[in-house]
């Protein structure tokens, strides 16, 4: 057979093994011989690849295909033959590792079985630590009992702590009860790393014998080994719980928690796990800890007491409140009940400050605790009481009462507050408004509007501030009327802010814009200006149409208000309208105002890059003042494109615009140097030669160096490919 024919036959054989479809019948000896040829061919190709990454990757893919396509549920002969061929090469080169060794190890870990044990097991005796470690990693993944026997034998003969740790970890990964005695011996070793590895491995095996060994040793261990044993026990408890063995997990946690000499963090971890697993059945334990004297555990117990759900737990803590002997204990329990937020505790909390105690003055801390707790346990019956407390109390109690009003839960809370909106005391009315605003009570909108006629200015101001925060679109036109009859500029300004707040929040943008347009027709100039200001916060075609209507108003003050509102509009179409006005307006101040608005929108609205370029060109064409041209050039810095860099560099020689051009060029360069290093490098080099600013020089040099690094990296990569 000629060399060409042999090469074709070899390629065909490799192709059969790669596809997993072998042609014809083969005896075991023939199959093994073919597998040896295929594996040898691929590994030799890998060895000849040198530093060529493409050839290395191709050989690796070929080997993976051969290995993975050899796995067949119905016929295991091909996989065994491939594994034996891999083991042969692995053992053959055991004392002189080659570049293929790592790939062989990975494949044997993935598909290796009992047929690999004897050959790989011999490598465990190699004096080469790398080869030993590779053999260990392979045997760790093979579930056959022979693999465990080889690891046992190696562990018996091992003397180096690092090698012992690796073998122990591998035995732990097998989860084999037969390894418990072998590993348990290592718990008593002098080397801490070996003992800790043994503890972890026993936890992974996790049968009764392993856990018994760990529990017995835990009581005698200290330091690093003690922590390792505890971690192993906790890990096994989690595994036992996940598998449904709840009692075993609870037993481990209970023993760890009940040991007073145990490390505090471990006791806490065990306690948390017990409570989380037992749920309501853990209530007596937590109650006992809360009432107990163990100050190391008590903070954790209080935290757990907040987390246990249900009325039975709340009633248990209410009973503790009744037994509390001093003010500090009462405050602690009231805080706990308030944090739990269960209304069944309300009567017990209020009972502490009923009758004479409330009015005669109980302890200050107790009073504060009750006010704060009412936010969690209170009902609508407590809403107005908290309002009056906020009015009558000092600063600290007022702040707590307001916070509790915001936290109160229930469908009737806001309705109970609304009943107090017409109280005789203006301070109470004002506090009710504050509470409704803090609760974002949109249903209070119409009731708040009735306060427009309130004789007390502070109440009217509070109502307007509340409408700004919580009002809905129903309040817009009533606010226009309120604005028209506002007695002073302060109240009128609050009306405008309330209208603007509603416009920003509303989902009915077109409906609100239509309402503004309707009210605009018959309004006076002052009202029209306020309407335009509100409309400037809306989006949509109707809002833009309404602003255009305002710009067309015969009153120049209204025109200016509408133009300013359009300059702040979030509607994208406003930029186009402003450009039209800048081109067509006869008055110079109108042109300037429209151009400034157009510039602002072109910078801050999410427009495409092409639109931003167009905006810059239009601004430079229409700009009549140096300030406008400077602002336009500076705005180029917001465009992350090489075209913007080119435009900015065109103004470097212009004394009027040089500072803005340098700023824009540096800002653009900092964004695009990785994608356009050549252009950025040229621009920064020019700036470093001409700039008069020390800060600009420093920034240009920094960006220049970044661009140069990108170019150097590209050059190195290009040379590596040759």
Mind listing the pLDDT tens digit for each residue in 463-507?
A: 999 998 888 888 888 888 888 888 888 988 898 888 888 888 888
Q: Which among 179, 108, 180 has a CA at the least distance from the CA of 145? A: 179
- The tokens for 558 are 């209204």
Looking at residue 181, what is its pLDDT?
Answer: 84
Is 232 strand, coil or helix?
helix
Reduced to 3 states (helix: H, G, I; strand: E, B; else coil), residue 286 is helix
* pLDDT per position as a tens digit, 343-370: 888 888 888 766 434 444 445 788 888 8
Position 355 in a domain: no
CA distances from 172 to 45, 114, 167, 218 (A): 37, 19, 9, 19
**Which of 126-140, 240-254, 409-423, 585-599 has the weakest average pLDDT?**
585-599
Q: In the block, which residue shows the tokens 């005391």?
A: 425
Q: Which residue has the tokens 């803090």?
A: 438
Q: Which of 210-224, 331-345, 636-650 has the lowest mean pLDDT?
A: 210-224
Q: Is residue 376 part of a domain?
A: no
Contacts of 555 (CB under 8 A, 6+ apart): 525, 528
CB 387, CB 363: distance < 8 Å: no
Q: What is the mean pLDDT of residues 429-451?
A: 89
Please check whether residue 384 lies inside any domain of the structure: no
User: Is position 703 within any domain?
Assistant: yes
Q: Cα separation of 542 and 554, whole Å?
A: 21
Share of the chain above pLDDT 90, in %: 12
Helix, strand, coil percentages for the chain (3-state, nearest 5): 80, 0, 20
94 pLDDT more than 50 = no
Tokens of residue 487, six digits? 């007695």
Domain range for 144 = 1-157
Q: What is the pLDDT of residues 552-575, one digit of tens each?
A: 888 989 888 888 888 888 887 887
485: which 2 tokens?
A: 């009859």
| Least confident range of 91-100, 191-200, 222-231, 286-295 | 91-100
Confidence of residue 58 (pLDDT cuts 50, 70, 90): confident
Q: What is the CA radius of gyration of the chain?
A: 40
Q: Minimum mean pLDDT among 55-69, 407-421, 516-530, 580-594: which range? A: 580-594
Euclidean distance between CA atoms 12 and 677, whole angstroms? 49
* Amino acid 702: pLDDT: 94
Domain boundary residue among 118, 133, 157? 157
| 3 state DSSP class of 375 | helix
Whether residue 603 is predicted with pLDDT greater than 90 in this model: the reply is no
Tokens 């200050």 locate to 364
**Looking at per-residue confidence, does 699 or 583 come out higher?**
699
| Whole-number pLDDT of residue 99 | 61
Nearest CA to 283 among 254, 309, 255? 309
In a domain, residue 17? The reply is yes
Any domain includes 427: no
CB 82 within 8 A of CB 70: yes
Boundary-marking domain end, from 98, 127, 157: 157
pLDDT of residue 670: 92
Quick one: pLDDT at residue 98? 53
pLDDT of residue 354: 64
pLDDT of residue 604: 66
Site of tokens 């465009």: 639
Count of domains for the chain: 2
Q: Which residues of 334-368 are buried (b: 16+ CB within 10 A; e: fewer)?
A: bbbbbbbbbeebbebbbebbeeeeeeeebbeebbb
| Residue 356: per-residue pLDDT | 36
Q: For a pLDDT cut of 70, what percent of the chain falls above it?
A: 96
Q: pLDDT tens for residues 291-339?
A: 877 777 788 888 888 888 888 888 988 888 888 878 888 888 888 888 8
CA 377 – CA 339 distance, rounded (Å): 8
Q: Is residue 685 part of a domain?
A: yes
What is the per-residue pLDDT for 607? 67
Domain-embedded: residue 568? no
Beta strands in 240-311 (DSSP E): none
Instruction: Provide DSSP, 129-144.
Output: HHHHHHHHHHHHH--S
Q: What gap in Å lies between CA 67 and CA 83, rounded to an integer? A: 8
Q: What pLDDT is recorded for position 96?
A: 39
> Which DSSP string do the residues of 592-627 spell out, in sequence order?
HHHHHHHHHHHHHS---HHHHHHHHHHHHHH--SHH
Given 137, 157, 177, the domain boundary residue is: 157
The reported pLDDT for the residue numbered 581 is: 78
Q: Which residue has tokens 């737990």?
A: 313
The residue whose two tokens read 């075609």 is 541
Q: How confident is the model at residue 105 (pLDDT cuts 50, 70, 90)?
A: confident
Q: What rounded mean pLDDT belongs to the chain?
A: 84
Give the position of tokens 């605790």.
Answer: 369
Least confident range from 8-17, 350-359, 713-722: namely: 350-359
pLDDT at 142 > cutoff 80: yes
pLDDT at residue 450 greater than cutoff 70: yes
Three state DSSP letters for 323-349: HCCCHHHHHHHHHHHHHHCCHHHHHHH
Does pLDDT of 708 surpass 80? yes
pLDDT confidence of 698, banded at 50, 70, 90?
very high
């Amino acid at each position: 057979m000629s060399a060409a024919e042999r090469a074709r036959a070899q390629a065909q054989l490799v192709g059969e093994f790669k596809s997993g479809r072998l042609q014809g019948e083969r005896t075991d000896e023939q199959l093994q011989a073919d597998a040896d040829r295929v594996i040898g061919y691929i590994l030799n190709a890998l060895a000849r690849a040198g530093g060529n990454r493409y050839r290395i990757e191709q050989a690796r893919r070929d080997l993976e295909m051969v290995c993975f396509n050899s796995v067949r549920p119905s016929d295991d002969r091909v996989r065994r033959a491939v594994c034996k061929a891999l083991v042969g090469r692995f053992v053959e080169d055991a004392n002189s590792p080659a570049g293929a060794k790592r790939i062989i190890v990975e494949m044997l870990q993935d598909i290796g079985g009992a047929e690999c044990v004897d050959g790989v097991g011999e490598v465990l005796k190699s004096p080469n630590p790398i080869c030993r470690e590779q053999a260990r990693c392979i045997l760790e993944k093979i579930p056959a009992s022979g693999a465990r026997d080889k690891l046992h034998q190696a562990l018996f003969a091992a003397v180096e702590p690092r090698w012992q740790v690796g073998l122990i970890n591998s035995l732990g990964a097998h989860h084999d009860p037969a390894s418990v005695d072998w590993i348990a011996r290592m718990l008593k070793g002098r080397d801490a790393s070996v003992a800790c590895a043994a503890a972890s491995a026993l936890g992974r095996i996790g049968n009764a014998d392993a856990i018994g060994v760990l529990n017995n040793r835990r009581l005698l261990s200290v330091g690093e080994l003690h922590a390792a044993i505890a971690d192993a026990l906790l890990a096994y408890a989690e595994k036992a719980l996940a598998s449904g063995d709840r009692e075993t997990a609870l037993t481990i946690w209970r023993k760890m928690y009940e040991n007073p000499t145990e490390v505090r963090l471990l006791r806490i971890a065990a306690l948390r796990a017990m409570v989380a697993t037992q749920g309501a059945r853990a209530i007596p334990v937590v109650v006992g800890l809360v009432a107990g004297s163990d100050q190391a555990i008590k903070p954790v117990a209080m935290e757990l007491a907040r987390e246990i759900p249900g009325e039975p737990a709340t009633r248990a803590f209410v009973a503790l409140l009744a037994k509390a002997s001093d003010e500090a204990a009462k405050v602690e329990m009231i805080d706990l009940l308030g944090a739990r937020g269960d209304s069944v505790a309300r009567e017990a909390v209020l009972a502490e400050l009923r009758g004479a105690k409330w009015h005669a003055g109980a302890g200050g801390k107790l009073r504060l605790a009750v006010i704060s707790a009412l936010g969690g346990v209170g009902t609508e019956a407590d809403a107005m009481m908290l309002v009056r407390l906020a009015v009558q109390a000092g600063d600290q109690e007022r702040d707590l009462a307001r916070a509790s009003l915001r936290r109160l839960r229930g469908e009737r809370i806001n309705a109970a507050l609304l009943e107090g909106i017409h109280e005789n005391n203006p301070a109470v009315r004002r506090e009710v408004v504050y509470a409704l605003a803090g609760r974002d009570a949109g249903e209070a909108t119409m009731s708040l509007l009735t306060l427009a006629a309130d004789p007390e200015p502070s109440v009217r101001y509070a109502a307007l501030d509340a409408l700004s925060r919580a009002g809905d679109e129903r309040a817009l036109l009533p606010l226009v009327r309120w604005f028209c009859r506002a007695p002073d500029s302060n109240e009128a300004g609050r009306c405008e802010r309330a209208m603007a707040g509603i416009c920003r929040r509303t989902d009915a943008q077109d409906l609100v814009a239509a309402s503004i347009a309707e009210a605009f027709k018959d309004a006076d100039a002052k009202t029209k200006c306020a309407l335009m200001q509100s409309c400037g916060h809306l989006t949509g075609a109707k809002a833009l149409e309404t602003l255009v209507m305002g710009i067309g108003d015969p009153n120049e003050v209204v025109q200016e208000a509408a133009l300013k509102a359009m300059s702040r509009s979030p509607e994208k179409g406003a930029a186009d309208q402003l450009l039209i006005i800048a081109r067509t307006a006869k008055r110079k101040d109108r042109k300037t105002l429209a151009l400034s608005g157009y510039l602002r929108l072109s910078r801050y609205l999410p427009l495409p890059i092409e639109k931003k370029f167009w905006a810059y060109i239009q601004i430079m064409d229409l700009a009549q003042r140096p300030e406008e041209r400077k602002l336009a050039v500076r705005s180029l810095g917001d465009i992350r494109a090489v075209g913007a860099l080119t435009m900015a560099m065109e103004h470097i020689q212009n004394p009027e615009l040089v500072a803005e051009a340098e700023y824009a060029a540096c800002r653009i360069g900092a964004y695009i140097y990785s994608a356009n290093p050549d252009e950025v490098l040229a621009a920064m080099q020019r700036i470093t030669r001409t700039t008069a600013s020390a800060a600009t020089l420093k920034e240009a040099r920094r960006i220049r160096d970044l661009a140069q690094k990108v170019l150097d990296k590209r050059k190195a990569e290009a040379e590596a490919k040759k």
